[in-house]
Amino acid sequence: MKSFYVKTFGCQMNENDSERIVAVLRRQGMTPALSADVADVVVFNTCTIRENADNRFFGQVNMLRERRVREPGMRIVVAGCLAQGEKDAIFDRAPHVDVVVGTHAIGSIADLLERSDEERHVIDVSTGDGSIDPMVDLVPEPAEGHKAWVTIQTGCDNNCAFCIVPQVRGPEVSRPFGAIVDEVRRLAEQGISEVTLLGQNVNSYGRDLTKRLRRTSDGIHDHGFLAGPVYVSDGIRRIRPLFSDLLRAVSGVDGIRRVRFTSPHPKDMREETFAAMAESPAVCESLHFPLQSGSDRVLAAMHRGYRGERFFEKLELARSIIPDLAVTTDIIVGFPGETEDEFEATLELVARCEFDSAFTFIYSPRPGTEAGAWTDKFVDPEVIRDRFERLKLVTERSGAAKHRARVGKIEEILIDGPSKRDANVASGRTRQNKLVHLAGVDGERLRGSYLNARIVDAGAHFLHGELLGPPARGAHASC
């Protein structure tokens, strides 16, 4: 019996794809290994969003070179976004890799592995057959017993000038409404109580479904399954299902207590989504709202489709509709041509937005993207470093204030298990997705439980809480 190890780089969507890869390999009778050093098949599920993601992968795959040469029966598979975009570079820089499989073809990994017994350098970066549900028959195996990712949409139809994702993930394809709700139901039956809906632009969910419904000639006449009108809670038969319909349907599934989603795009975010968040008790008070820059010129050059002030208005609207909302964001520093004044506009807007936390990135040119070709406008790395540190001060200041504001509150915590550092401390998440440590609590035994705790202290990246006892059955609010 062969063993496998899957190493994942990149975003939650890749994590979810890795769970599908695990399911495919298990179906072949393979078993998980404890590490890449002992596995018969090592799968790298790669990311190429920034250059350092590529470099981390090449560093790790090259550490297996000697072992691969020594053990002819061993196999190395490279999947994911880098595989889709740079298949030739992978074999050039890591010739000991056996199989390269793109983002649309993970279902064929088992066949490709079989072919690798006869052929060197097996490749499948085909882009799918446009079937109704690109994920059909690839049911992921959630890594944890109490929460799961659910991909609702693959690809991206936007053209942010810095971003490689549309190239490596293809055009936006929404999964059928009914398939998503069924998947969440199945997960709930297995004991999963928290789901995170995944897509590159979740609030454009459904845009493509009606078109596909018209094109469909393969006997799918169940409009509810494909486009979801039967699930629309307000009784209006829409031409297409909206993300807000999906939020309401998923949060209504028996056994689901928490629903999260990532990422929405600010340009497409509408009031109806905020309303669905506020009106669905299971949808958590947590929003990832990626700003990227506070300068209108830079936002336009990025093709983001909104201005800074419009972003701020939508953020205020969200906060007015959803009480106690936590907001996180993404910001890029040093986009080609970014001037000192433009960077200061980012600092100002970020300070006004008072985010709970921010993922800040140094611009990384990606081959084949629009901005990647603007070499004459690249900003000096020293200047970028300095800006990056200044931005961090501003984001950390609001993050710390938001954390301090939780002290004294009673929060519902979903326990994830023992803390990584101390087995006598349990770790979990509040509805706002803040990490909480509970000293003297058995995280192993209580994994997956919902408990109420008083927040007693706040650090930069986590909170400390004291247990109050189990919450009332069905209680969702964090008081």
Q: At what angle do helices 308-321 and 340-353 cross, to 10 degrees?
A: 10
Considering only residues 43, 47, 332, 413, which one is a binding residue for ligand F3S as defined by CB under 6 A? 47
Residue 275 or 362 having the CB closest to ligand SAH: 362
Could you give the CA distance from residue 132 to residue 212 in angstroms, rounded to a whole number?
8
**Per rule CB under 6 A, is residue 314 in the interface with ligand SF4?**
no
Q: Which of residues 254-273 bind ligand SF4 (CB under 6 A)?
A: 265
Residue 296 or 330 having the CB closest to ligand SAH: 330
130: Cα within 13 Å, side-chain hemisphere: 9
Interior angle at CA 61, CA 361 and CA 53, nearest 5: 10
Q: Which of residues 64-103 bind ligand F3S (CB under 6 A)?
A: 80-81
Q: How far is the CB of 171 from ligand SF4 (least distance, A)?
A: 11
Considering only residues 4, 5, 13, 431, which one is a binding residue for ligand F3S as defined by CB under 6 A? 13
Residue 168 or 209 having the CB closest to ligand SF4: 168
Whether the CB-CB separation of 232 and 272 falls below 8 Å is answered with no
Name which of 232, 236, 242, 145 is nearest 188 in CA terms: 145
Q: Which one of ligand SF4, ligand SAH, ligand F3S, none is in contact with 166 (Cβ closer than 5 to 8 A by kind)?
A: ligand SF4
Burial zone of 122 (CB within 10 Å; 0-12 exposed, 13-18 middle, 19+ buried): buried
Q: Using the rule CB under 6 A, give the single segment among 108-116, 120-128, 158-166, 390-398 that binds ligand SF4.
A: 158-166
Could you give the CA distance from residue 108 to residue 140 in angstroms, rounded to a whole number?
15
CA dist 390 → 330, 404, 422 (Å): 15, 22, 33
To the question of whether residue 163 is assigned a binding role by annotation, the answer is yes
Q: Which one of ligand SAH, ligand SF4, ligand F3S, none is in contact with 36 (Cβ closer than 5 to 8 A by kind)?
A: none
Cis amide prior to 263 (ω within 30 degrees):
yes
Q: At residue 291, what is the residue type?
A: L
**DSSP secondary structure string, 397-414?**
HHHHHHHHTTTT-EEEEE
What residues contact 218, with CB distance under 8 A and at least 6 apart?
A: 132
| Number of residues that make up the chain | 479
To the question of whether residue 353 is assigned a binding role by annotation, the answer is no
Residue 57 or 274 having the CB closest to ligand F3S: 57
Could you give the CA distance from residue 249 to residue 181 in angstroms, rounded to a whole number?
7
**DSSP at 35:** S
Considering only residues 43, 61, 99, 163, which one is a binding residue for ligand SF4 as defined by CB under 6 A? 163
**Per rule CB under 6 A, is residue 293 in the interface with ligand SF4?**
no
**Per-residue string for binding with ligand SF4, 197-236, x by CB under 6 A?**
---xx-----------------------------------
Q: How far is the CB of 123 from ligand SAH (least distance, A)?
A: 25
Q: Which one of ligand F3S, ligand SF4, ligand SAH, none is in contact with 10 (Cβ closer than 5 to 8 A by kind)?
A: ligand F3S
Q: What CA dihedral angle connects 229, 231, 237 and 243, to 10 degrees?
A: -80
> What are the structure tokens assigned to 403, written together?
């954390």
> What are the structure tokens assigned to 301, written together?
């050059």
Q: How far is the CB of 200 from ligand SF4 (least distance, A)?
A: 4
Chain residues that interact with ligand SAH, rule: CB under 6 A: 49-50, 162-163, 165, 200-201, 263, 265, 290, 292, 330, 332, 361, 363-364, 366
Q: Annotated binding residues, as ranges? A: 11, 47, 81, 156, 160, 163
What is the binding site for ligand SF4 (CB under 6 A)? 156, 158, 160, 163, 165-166, 200-201, 265
What is the binding site for ligand F3S (CB under 6 A)? 10-11, 13-14, 47-49, 80-81, 164-165, 168-169
Q: Annotated binding residues for [4Fe-4S] cluster, as ranges? A: 11, 47, 81, 156, 160, 163
